[in-house]
């Protein structure tokens, strides 16, 4: 059947009837692959920068925490070293451990999934 006004023109997206099932199948496969890339690979690529900054920040905070604890140990050893001879030489390490555990507990309480 001929459509008036479209004599000799093929409508966009219209099938001519000569396309085989193989062409439809390959078009479907290409569409599914393109959709999978759009919905999985592209978002993952955009997250890599976010994750990289997060990992770098976590490592820097960990190193800073270790250095802060070491600073407390050395400070207490320098100030109280002559008074803490013998059996009390562990006190600076204990104080630094308690302060580090307190800092870790404080950080853990600030982590939440709720709305801020």
Burial readout 1-23 (b: 16 or more C-beta within 10 A, e: otherwise): eeeeeeeeeeeeeeeeeeeeeee
Chain segment 66-94, per-residue pLDDT in tens: 999 999 999 999 988 778 778 888 899 99
Chain segment 8-60, per-residue pLDDT in tens: 444 445 555 566 788 889 999 999 998 888 888 878 888 888 899 999 999 99
pTM for this one?
Answer: 0.58
| Contact present, 76 and 96 (Cβ < 8 Å) | yes
Rounded distance between C-alpha atoms, residue 34 and residue 27, angstroms = 11
Residues 6 or more apart whose CB falls under 8 angstroms from that of 89 comprise none
| Contact present, 100 and 71 (Cβ < 8 Å) | no
């Amino acid at each position: 059947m001929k459509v008036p006004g479209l004599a000799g023109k093929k409508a966009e997206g219209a099938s001519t009837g000569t396309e085989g099932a193989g062409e439809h199948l390959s078009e479907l496969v290409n569409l599914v692959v393109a959709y999978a890339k759009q919905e999985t690979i592209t978002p993952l690529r955009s997250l890599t920068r976010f994750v990289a900054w997060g990992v770098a920040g976590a490592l820097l905070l960990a190193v800073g925490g270790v250095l802060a604890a070491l600073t407390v140990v050395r400070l207490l050893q320098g100030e109280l070293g002559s008074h803490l001879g013998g059996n009390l030489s562990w006190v600076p390490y204990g104080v630094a451990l308690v302060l580090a555990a307190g800092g870790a507990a404080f950080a853990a309480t600030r982590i939440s999934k709720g709305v801020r």
